[in-house]
Structures are given as C-alpha cells and as structure tokens.
Amino acid sequence: MKGETGTAQPACSASTTSRTARRGVLLGVGNILLSDEGVGVRLVERLLAGYRLPAGLQVLDGGTCAMEMLEDLEYLDLLVIADCVRSGRNPGSVVVLRDGEVPAFFRTKLSPHQVGLADVLATLQFIGRAPRQTVVVGVEPQSLATGMTLSPPVRAALTEAQDALIDALAKGGYGLEAQREAA
C-alpha cells in the first residue's frame, strides 16, 4: 500500500493517538490468499489509489490481524470496516451494517475472521476506548478458494461497495475527493 497517499502509515501515526483530535479509520480486513476473502483489503487499496483522504482519516490494511491494530482503533469517532460477509445472499451483494447491527454481525459468524476483530472491538469496549460509531460494509463472496484474484461477481460489486464506503465516510464527516488521475 502506498504510504505517501493519505495517512496509511500506522508506524508514524501510532504515537499521535489522542483522545481529543477527531479521528476516523477505514479498515480493510481479510485474507488476500483466499480469493474473495480479501475483498476488504482490495477495496481499501482501490480507495487509496483513487482518492485524496481528508485530515484525520487513516486507511488501514488490517489483513487478518487482530491485537496489532488495537492502538490504531482507540478513541475513534468513526470506524468503517470493509470485509467479506457471508449472509446467504447472492454473491456480490453489498451489505451495510450500522452501530446496533454490528455486534450481531460478529455474533452470527458471518465473516471468517470476525473473531480477531471482534476481540479487538470487545477489548476497546472494556477499556473504554471503543469507536463512537462503527459501520461495516460487507460483500458476499462467491469463492473462498486459494487464489489471489476476486471472482467475477465480487469484482463486479467493487464499485457499489466502494460507493457504500465513501457514503459511510461522508456521513461520518470524512468526505473523500477523487484524484485528478483516478487509478
């Protein structure tokens, strides 16, 4: 991921975590070795390539990690998660879950890596540093087979999912601006 675009470098931002400044995070999670499982990571890569990020918004490729992300997710006013979600809909369906619906998302095991992220969010709750607002944008997978490319229906859903992410960020006060030469 390009470090120069926006603020996608936790290495530098780690020490600037504070409870006063407004901070938002767009987090892509998933395993890019399992085809559609990596759609969350692919989505944030697309956004980073095509848009300029507003101040205070950090974009993270969380991969399949958990506790390593704790500090980056503390004291957020907005957390938007891009993820692969298994909810029994047609492959490529885009689902948006907000606040109250998010814990249910984790309880019903819709996503293969929800445990790690659920642990992080529960820990943030316990230490009183949970995000004020959380939105999950999920894409229903077709294939979780070993491979590094997305299936056709999921690829076709990328624009809709990206729009949903941009919408969620804009509603939370983080408007994205398209780069002149969008990738």
Binding residue for other proteins, selected from 55, 67, 178, 183, defined by CB under 8 A: 67
Task: Kindly indicate which of the ranges 11-19, 87-95, 150-158, 168-176 contains the residues binding other proteins, using the contact rule CB under 8 A.
Answer: 11-19
- Regarding 143 and contact with other proteins (CB under 8 A), the answer is no
83 neighbors 140 (Cβ within 8 angstroms): no
Residue 85 contacts residue 140 (beta carbons within 8 Å): yes
Q: Is 6 in the site for other proteins (CB under 8 A)?
A: no
Cα 107 to Cα 60, 74, 82, 87: the distances in Å are 24, 22, 17, 12
Q: How far is CA 43 from CA 75, 83, 164, 172, in A?
A: 24, 9, 11, 18
Neighbouring C-beta atoms of residue 159, cutoff 10 Å = 11
| Residue 122 lies near other proteins (rule: CB under 8 A) | yes
What is the rounded distance in angstroms from the CA atom of residue 37 to the CA atom of residue 137? 14
C-beta closer to other proteins: residue 7 or 172: 7
Give the amino acid at 75: Y
Q: Which is nearer to other proteins, 122 or 156 (CB)?
A: 122
Q: Which stretch binds other proteins (CB under 8 A): 45-53, 55-63, 88-96, 169-177?
A: 55-63
| Burial of residue 140, with CB atoms counted within 10 A of its CB: 0-12 exposed, 13-18 middle, 19 or more buried | buried
How many residues belong to the site for other proteins (CB under 8 A)? 40
| Residue whose CB is less far from other proteins, 71 or 77 | 71
Q: Find the helix or strand (DSSP H, E) in which 154 lies.
A: helix 152-156
What's the min distance (Å) between Cβ of 181 and other proteins?
24
- Please tell me whether residue 71 binds other proteins under the rule CB under 8 A: yes
3-11, 47-55, 150-158, 173-181 -> range binding other proteins (CB under 8 A): 3-11
Residues of the shown chain interacting with other proteins in the complex, contacts defined by CB under 8 A: 1, 3, 9-11, 14-15, 31-34, 37, 61-71, 109, 112-116, 118-119, 122-123, 125-128, 146-148
